[in-house]
Amino acid sequence: MIEGILPATVACAEVFRDLPDAVLFPEEQAAVRGAVETRRTEFRTVRHCARTALGDLGVPPAPILPGPRREPRWPDGIVGSMTHCAGYRAAAVARAADIASLGIDAEPHKALPDGMLPSVARPEEIARLTRLYARSPDVHWDRLTFSAKESVYKAWFPLARRWLGFHDASLTIDPDRQAFEVVLLDHQLPVDGRTLVALSGRWTVENDLITTSVVIDAPTAA
């Protein structure tokens, strides 16, 4: 599912159930030692996905530890992203020579909790969502907005190393191309001599799940 919204230079793996027998490195076990069992199982499964995807790139298994903001710390020369929600775990990785950064996210295809949308979407985005709902009421555009911005942040943070709030970017969803564009408001992103003021991504709705992705090409691959 996630493969369909990622370029060929990105390796990915996904599962639709937890894998209780997935193996962790000792350092990873220590990182979740105090967590509840559901969290430890989720942690194991998504890292199994990550190591499967890394194997497709020829990268040997290695610990993938969480950073200060729980971001995954990848092997040298690798960029990637992981995601999990009820009934779904996935990871996507690429070589830094091909991709500068990437973010993926998965969410259940259902409406956001009541009252949450204003904290996720700016006023102009809510107006766009109203038009999208009038056109295609079967898609939960509010949850898709949340997921797209999660993917934006996951691609943003490894390069910027600072916070990007939901209202720091303005999202426009293209329902025909199953794509989206995001304007970074007052938060330009320097990337190897370039200054990005906007990012683009893709989305899909399948199996009662929303998945989104944002990929920033490396300069030599752009």
pLDDT in tens, 101-148: 999 999 999 999 999 999 999 999 999 999 999 999 999 999 999 999
What would the mean pLDDT of 213-222 be, rounded to a whole number? 82
Beta bridge partners of 171: 182
pLDDT of residue 194: 75
Tokens matching residue 36: 């509840």
Altogether, the residues listed in the chain come to a count of 222
CB atoms within 10 A of CB 155: 27
pLDDT of residue 74: 97
Q: How confident is the model at residue 63 (pLDDT cuts 50, 70, 90)?
A: very high
What would the mean pLDDT of 59-87 be, rounded to a whole number? 93
- Compute the distance between CA of residue 109 and CA of residue 48 in angstroms, rounded to an integer: 24
Q: How confident is the model at residue 216 (pLDDT cuts 50, 70, 90)?
A: very high
What would the mean pLDDT of 62-81 be, rounded to a whole number? 93
Tokens matching residue 86: 């009820």
Q: How far is CA 84 from the centre of its chain?
A: 9
Find all residues with CB under 8 Å of 107, minimum gap 6, and list them.
85, 143, 144, 146, 147, 150, 209, 210
Q: What is the set of domains in the chain, with CATH numbers?
A: 2-104 (3.90.470), 107-221 (3.90.470)
The pTM assigned to this predicted structure is: 0.93
| pLDDT for residue 222 is more than 60 | no
Specify whether the backbone of 174 is left (phi greater than 0), alpha (psi in -120 to 50) or beta.
Answer: beta
pLDDT of residue 70: 84
Q: Where are the alpha helices (DSSP H) in the chain?
A: 26-31, 37-56, 117-120, 123-135, 141-160
Cβ atoms of 82 and 150 within 8 Å: the answer is no
Selected residue with higher pLDDT from 147 and 22: 147
Residue range 141-187, pLDDT digits in tens: 999 999 999 999 999 999 988 889 999 999 999 999 999 999 999 77
pLDDT of residue 221: 53
Angle value at C-alpha 178, between 177 and 180, nearest 5 degrees: 95
What would the mean pLDDT of 189-202 be, rounded to a whole number? 83
pLDDT of residue 189: 74
- Compute the distance between CA of residue 201 and CA of residue 10 in angstroms, rounded to an integer: 14
